[in-house]
A and B are shown apart, each in its own frame.
Chain A
Amino acid sequence: MHTIFLVHGMGNFKADSKWSEPLQKKIRELYDPKKYKFIERTPFDNFRFVEITYNHHFEKYLEEAQKQAQRLDKWSKLIPNLNADLFRFLERVVNGAGTPASTKFSTSHLADVALYMATDVGELVRNDIARQISVALGDNFDPAHDRWSVIAHSLGTRVITEVLQLGFTAAPSLRSFGKARVVMMMANTSRLLQSLWPFSAGDVYHNAVFPSRGDVGVCDHFINATHRLDPFAFVQEFDPPADFGDGTAMLDRLFHPVKLAASDLTMKDVHAAEHYIEHPHVHAALFQYLGSGRHAASDTELSNAMDEYRRLTLQADITDVWRQSLADLKTQPFARVLDILELWEKYGNLLV
């Protein structure tokens, strides 16, 4: 059995919501041996999907913070005659407690990022994901014939990068399950978040998370999909140097970058995981390396798939004006953190 872990990005992903079902459905639809002959000998039922959910940890914290803030809010009614300066100071402290639960796009999404990167809620998330992976693989997992892979999206790419880094260097370690077959990152934010974090957040190009034919690394193949217009991906693209990992990943062609063009738009949410996986170059690479990797989609098959994909781009409910607005985001400055937040806020407004 080949277990594929699906790791979500930023947003409202509830543990019991089966959030990954649309993505699973999309992959199942695309896994069509009539379109790609090379997959005909790997039946789809040899794969099983396991969704990894961590958003509930952020939700729980924010709910608790709100509860505390509401409780504190009562103070002003109890102590009405305090002097004005003191009143303002305490009011500011109380309001601060409730801030993370804001509904503003950048704040609500970035509260997750901030909680993950800057606080120990991240430690809870990382340990819980390690737990979820090991529980899902279970006692019957046999590394001689069972495989596992990871498909991560957006914030999930940073999260899973850290889980793999910690998990493969820990004792006991994830290495006891064997290396992952494929690690696939869509809209990889791991490099961006490393540089946004003001303190040391390691080096994602030179940690344990890289593909290798040898004994090091965490996977056999690493696929990285980026869209030119995805504002979460283009700000600081995951674009490893020649010496990525132990220096052999590039030479051995185990790192597979897939860069999607500005014209490749089938839906407004260019950042969505389904939008990435729908692209033939993305899912064809995934299907190739989930298997032996020896066979790939033929030029004709890929060309046919791209023709069909282009038809979808033409049918997409996207006006030229909207398309231009999205493209214009790339011309905005995004050198400072505040610029990046503004960029994401504008992107959020485009989706409304």
Chain B
Amino acid sequence: MRISHATIYGLTLLAASLAHAAEPDVCNGGDNGDRLESRYFIDLCRKGVKSLEALDAAVREGFGPYEGDASAEAWPEKGEMQLKRIRTEVREDQQQADASGEAKLASRLGELDQRLGAAVGKLSTLSSLGELSGQNAPGNFAELQPSFWRVNTDPNATRGELAVKYLQDENCLNAQRGDTRCDAVYAGATKIADHTYAAAEVVGHLHLPLRRQFRTEATRRTAAWNSYLYDTQFQYWWELAFNRYLEERCPKGLNAYVAPLISKKCQQRSVDSLQNEIGFREPPDYKASLLHPDLGVMYLDDEPKGDRFKPAVIVQALGYEWWDWKDGKIENRRGVSLVVSAADNARTKELGYGLQLRWNGFAFAVTDHDGKLAVTLNLDLAKYIGSASPKYAEALKLPLEFEQ
């Protein structure tokens, strides 16, 4: 049997058409609830709806370009104007629905109008965008939160749900495209949803400065905590745990006694009634040292000549270090500790007790070795003196050998 070219062409077209039919229609397939979901949350579909693109552009234009603090101050007023504009459009649609006898659509649009009214009212009481954040913001400014307006296709939802509720009111939620009555209802639902989406765009844009600020603050705090851990005297793990414990004890505990002496504060963490922490903590500006071992160079006048400078171990039994924060950086590190120092002494007791003072990376301790006073420099200070003074360079050469 011969098959003509026309038949082959026809069969090819049929096969292609069947293959296409087998592929799901992402944007318009499924039931009306699915179509609504795709319209806003599937990029491919949303970008294909020109009216939504225009709506996005109108909101962006309404706010204008973001130019820092000045924009943030103007944002609430611009947001209010835009929500009022959307409200006017909702009312027009509501009147139209009333006029054409679509009572259920008019009723849902009426609910949307009330919500928009509440949002406008809240915006007018807003003194700064900062009020939209924090623990109490969802209660105080629910209508000005992005999640309040995000279109929701769950019929049990209580936020952004008016369009899907309308589909349900009309028994069209599960209807497929092609059902003439439900297609008309779907068109009404998209009106509600588009207005909701427009409000979501406005409220979402209102939060743009806060999103930027959140990122800036998180970046700053990350750098500051990093600085706290690595730009101050290194904390061994037991010191880290001890300091965390002391911070948690505030406004009680050891820090409560020490903080006023060094002009710092011992503030309680911000927590709720169940001790859940509220908001991110700022890094401290002081900390304790506990059993902190270090190496240094001891000078003892009573030792034989030529052996007066020697390597030493110095342990800060307990002490504090404090500093200032400037532009996210640590400055003016100061410290004082009770110390134990030990060196391989020929004439003097090996072990001594005393006090260490620290300034930035330099530390200097005076310890009592059975009545004889020893001075111990930490390595940074010893190296500094060695490099600054030729007189001491030779004397410090041997003790500093272990740093080679």
Contact = CB atoms under 8 A, between A and B. Distances in A.
A206 B148 contact: no
A308 interface: no
A165 interface: yes
A11 interface: no
A352 B241 CA distance: 31
B218 A131 contact: yes
A86 B150 contact: no
Interface stretch (A24-32, A175-183, A259-267, A325-333): A175-183
Contact of B236 (A65, A144, A172): A65
Contact of A100 (B46, B200, B237, B275): B237
Interface in A70-101: 71-72, 74-75, 77-83, 86, 90, 93-94, 96-97, 99-100
A179 B208 CA distance: 15
Given A33-B24, A124-B229, A173 B214 contact: yes
A144 B133 contact: no
A137 B212 CA distance: 10
A135 interface: yes
A144 B204 contact: yes
Contacts of A81: 344, 350
Contact of B212 (A71, A139, A208, A294): A139
A127 B313 contact: no
B342 interface: yes
Interface in B130-185: 130, 132-135, 137-139, 142, 145-151, 153-159
A175 B212 contact: no
Interface stretch (A197-205, A227-235, A314-322, A341-349): A197-205
Contacts of A131: 215, 218-219, 221-222
A175 B44 contact: no
A191 interface: no
A90 B210 contact: no
Interface in A109-138: 114-115, 118-121, 123-124, 126-128, 130-131, 134-135, 137
Contact of A207 (B38, B230, B276, B291): B276
Interface stretch (B26-34, B102-110, B361-369): B26-34
B240 A120 contact: yes
A333 B215 CA distance: 45
Residue of B153, B237, B402 contacting most chain A CB atoms (<10 Å): B237
Contacts of A193: none
A292 B33 contact: yes
A298 interface: no
A292 B39 CA distance: 12
A172 to B, nearest CB: 4
Given A175-B145, A176-B211, A213-B158, A41 B26 contact: yes
A172 B130 contact: yes
Contacts of B336: none
Contacts of B402: 74, 77-78
A2 B43 CA distance: 9
Contacts of B146: 143-144, 175-178
A172 B217 contact: yes
A68 B234 contact: yes
Nearest to B244: A119
B211 A169 contact: no
A305 interface: no
A218 to B, nearest CB: 10
A334 interface: no
A134 B215 contact: yes
A5 to B, nearest CB: 14
B42 A43 contact: yes
A349 B244 CA distance: 32
B21 interface: no
B248 interface: yes
Nearest to B291: A93
Contacts of B376: none
B238 interface: yes
A interface, how many residues as a size bin? 35 or more
Contacts of A142: 56, 201, 204
A144 to B, nearest CB: 4
B392 interface: no
Nearest to B239: A119
A1 B135 CA distance: 28
Given A118-B241, A171-B279, A202-B277, A74 B218 contact: no
Contacts of B218: 127-128, 130-131, 134
Contacts of B315: 90, 93
A214 interface: yes
Nearest to A202: B276
Contact of B229 (A43, A61, A83, A199): A61
A267 B130 CA distance: 49
A141 interface: yes
A42 B41 CA distance: 9
A72 B295 contact: yes
Residue of A77, A139, A143, A179 contacting most chain B CB atoms (<10 Å): A143
A35 B215 CA distance: 40
B214 A143 contact: no
B204 A178 contact: yes
Contact of B342 (A79, A114, A207): A79
Interface of A: 1-2, 33, 40-43, 46, 60-61, 64-65, 68, 71-72, 74-75, 77-83, 86, 90, 93-94, 96-97, 99-100, 114-115, 118-121, 123-124, 126-128, 130-131, 134-135, 137, 139, 141-145, 147, 162, 165-167, 169-179, 199-203, 206-208, 213-216, 220, 252, 291-295
24 contacts: A2-B41, A40-B24, A41-B24, A78-B402, A79-B312, A79-B342, A114-B241, A120-B225, A131-B222, A134-B214, A166-B278, A166-B280, A169-B135, A170-B278, A170-B280, A172-B130, A172-B133, A175-B133, A176-B132, A178-B145, A178-B147, A208-B276, A220-B154, A294-B155
Given A2-B41, A216-B139, 18 more contacts: A40-B29, A46-B44, A68-B234, A83-B350, A115-B240, A118-B240, A120-B283, A134-B215, A135-B215, A143-B150, A143-B200, A144-B151, A145-B41, A173-B210, A202-B276, A206-B276, A215-B138, A252-B156
